[in-house]
Amino acid sequence: MASLLQDRLTTDQDLLLMQEGMLMRKVRSKSWKKLRYFRLQNDGMTVWHARQARGSAKPSFSISDVETIRNGHDSELLRSLTEELPLEQGFTVVFHGRRSNLDLVANSVEEAQIWMRGLHLLVDLVTSMDHQERLDQWLSDWFQRGDKNQDGKMSFQEVQRLLHLMNVEMDQEYAFSLFQAADTSQSGTLEGEEFVQFYKALTKRAEVQELFESFSADGQKLTLLEFLDFLREEQKERDCTSELALELIDRYEPSDSGKLRHVLSMDGFLSYLCSKDGDIFNPDCLPIYQDMTQPLNHYFICSSHNTYLVGDQLCGQSSVEGYIRALKRGCRCVEVDVWDGPSGEPVVYHGHTLTSRILFKDVVATVAQYAFQTSDYPVILSLETHCSWEQQQTMARHLTEILGEQLLSTTLDGVLPTQLPSPEELRRKILVKGKKLTLEEDLEYEEEEVEPELEGEHESELALESQFETEPEPEPQEQNLQIKDKKKVVTCPLFCPSICCQIVTQAPISKPESLLLSRQKSKNILCPALSSLVIYLKSVSFRSFTHSKEHYHFYEISSFSETKAKRLIKEAGNEFVQHNTWQLSRVYPSGLRTDSSNYNPQELWNAGCQMVAMNMQTAGLEMDICDGHFRQNGGCGYVLKPDFLRDNQSSFHPERPISPFKAQTLLIQVISGQQLPKLNKTKEGSIVDPLVKVQIFGVRLDTARQETNYVENNGFNPYWGQTLCFRVLVPELAMLRFVVMDYDWKSRNDFIGQYTLPWTCMQQGYRHIHLLSKDGISLCPASIFVYICIREDLEGDES
């Protein structure tokens, strides 16, 4: 069980010092700053903390939960405490998922550097582990937990305790027979390799052994041809060649002799089934595999609502961390609600609530830093501006100065396009979405009132009219416009912003005009400097699909509350689909969701809505669907819509799908589960009773769920062997969610783990589904083993 990690723990100076422990200040807020003694455990995988060096310690965090380490200068909280705590001695532990960051301040710069270097090293070692290495490390962790007296050996009593910790209810006599068989030294205890053998006996996969023997002539190995037959017949990989089968043998067969003879042993076969090649998610869909040269409106775009919030909508904390987390998970549209702040600096927060405030310039700087760390494709800043004229000018200055070349400030080629540019054309560009003045308004500061565009949660569906709404513009064309007979301009009303602003400053303004300007400044009209930064994404209010078709243009975008969007889908589903083939739509959660809960994005994707904004700080079924949908295509935040949602003559209606869609039947045999986590880790006797629920989300007629029976007292290797059957009319829109639950006859079943993926990314055959937590973090090695079969519906009946 020795590993590179164990070698480093005994040789790396930083890790040795971390194992001795250090006193550091843990910082939770401006008022909560307490000394704690932190120490890296001997397993190298966990950090514990105590109030003092010899005090009672408890786990602080696991290395596998750590995403990265940041220095003190990058900590929003530590920067606010620079007068009290030196930034050079601080650092931040950033975790996967939604767990709050851990800010620490060491006693010296040297001690801070020791922990930063050491943690970086450990995180790199863990993330570079392959499946077998992760399994070995997982096994080592269990050995450490089971070895209660830490003597490097495990008695049978300790093994019994460990079985309960591992979610196993086993007959004592059978457990003792496995223990004796593994105790080759006959010492009455299990040491390193003996414990490995005990674990292998414990996890023997009878269902996999039976599958292996059904294709193996001698029951000992799979020849190259036998393995090829398995891949073609059972895994439905019809085009698999001998070369590919040989490549898989070289990749997963553990023995050198097996590789030389081109055969796959039982261990190699199991290793293949547990790998990415044996995963339910098709590895061909993991990199960017879709056409990225189509107009923006042809894609689903991963979008965030009130991105600055990391809590609820009424009293939650506003933080740049919300933008960091959203952008790093591939989100491509983030929301910024901007209000007048003190000292002339605009602030971002949820207006008219008790949420905290952050500086607009800090948000822009954060977006500039993290926009393209996960994806090179364009980021959209959805601005909701409530600022005065002066602070709008400050906003415009921050956007141009901080974003620099990243900011798209003019059309790509300087001429009026006929359609939106593609994600490929906009690589590494940041676009501003927001209100925009017509050219006349840019020049003469005229303000006209129309029906409000109810964008954002600040306005309910009965809200007052928006301050910045303008009448629909005429079709873009060259215009000769006169300003007080002083100057003529020939320009496009949308795509030459620099001219608009230039003329405003150059044209003489008479005294009456100056009074008008002063009066309208007090009414918070939109200033040209900010207006000019909106290029392809001009916000306009939605009146009707007919009105949009007659008055709006492809570069304009409307926002809908979830309530209004769902109503439109029911009343005019096909019109909504056609609308979304030529114009972008953004949907946002109801203002009643003050707890930052989410709605099901699938209902809006069915109508082709591109930007379905989610409260990304809130885990749950809805975010599982969103994360699963955007897991494909390199996780780049853009997913190409099906062709029937891109055709402006489409007859598709999400409520009543008809031909030419071909229905498919899905058969899922839920076979077994492996190493499911305990829900209550503090109670040794608590063992789960797992069941598997399969849910399908798509068009309304396809939405369904079925579940297996539960297996009593076995979370370690439960066996179900049950087959579930689904019929789906529009597989192109379907999402599958596998959920493992702990059966509870007294109350609701408890969540154990889940995995969600698009139907179009699902592989057939015998597949493992590697489970994720509520936060989308891997629960390795927890998985379920299934058999997937998809059949075309020959009769094509969609009713």
3-state secondary structure of 781: strand
CA nearest neighbour of 679 among 748, 621, 725: 748
CA gap 785, 768 in Å, rounded: 5
Could you identify the residue written with the tokens 């769920």? 705
Closest CA to 755 of 782, 728, 788: 782
Q: Which two tokens stand for residue 232?
A: 């073609």
Which is it for strands 22-27 and 33-40: parallel, antiparallel or unpaired?
antiparallel
Q: Which residues pair with 264 in a beta bridge?
A: 222
Pairing of strands 379-386, 430-434: parallel
CA 295 to chain centre: 24
CA pair distance 188, 174, nearest whole angstrom: 16
The count of other CB atoms within 10 Å of the CB of residue 494 is 24
Q: How far apart are CA 560 and CA 570, in angstroms?
A: 14
Secondary element (H or E) of residue 369: helix 360-370
Neighbours of 677 (CB within 10 A): 17
DSSP state of 451: S
| Cβ neighbours of 336 (radius 10 Å) | 23
Task: Report the catalytic residues.
Answer: 305, 350
Q: What is the dihedral of CA 150, 152, 154, 159, to 10 degrees?
A: 70
Q: Which helix (H) or strand (E) holds 578?
A: helix 562-582
Answer yes or no: are the C-beta atoms of 152 and 191 closer than 8 Å: yes
Classify burial at 257, counting beta carbons within 10 Å of its beta carbon; exposed 0-12, middle 13-18, buried 19 or more.
Answer: exposed
Tell how strand 358-359 and strand 379-386 pair up. unpaired
Q: Are 372 and 428 in contact (CB under 8 A)?
A: yes
Closest CA to 722 of 207, 45, 267, 51: 207
Q: Is 79 exposed, middle or buried (0-12, 13-18, 19+ CB in 10 A)?
A: middle
Residue position matching structure tokens 């699909």: 545
Residues 6+ apart with CB under 8 A from 279: 763, 767, 768, 769, 770
Q: Where is 587: in which H helix or E strand?
A: strand 584-588
Give the three-class secondary structure for 56.
Answer: coil
Beta strands in 456-523 (DSSP E): 479-483, 487-491
* Cβ-based neighbours of 164, under 8 Å, separated by 6 or more: 684, 685, 687
DSSP at 478: -
Q: Rounded CA gap, 229 and 744, in Å?
A: 43
Report helix, strand or coil for 792: strand
Q: Do residues 359 and 347 lie in contact, with contact meaning Cβ atoms separated by under 8 Å?
A: yes
- Cα distances from 420 to residues 294, 534, 640, in angstroms, run 9, 13, 15
Structure tokens at 265: 């042993």
**DSSP-assigned states of every residue in 602-659:** HHHHTTT-SEEEE-TTS-SHHHHHHHHHTTSGGG-SEEEPPGGGT-TT----TTS--T
User: Which residue is listed with tokens 């020959």?
Assistant: 794
Mutual angle of helices 172-182 and 192-202, in 10-degree steps: 140
Cα separation, 381 vs 395, whole angstroms: 12
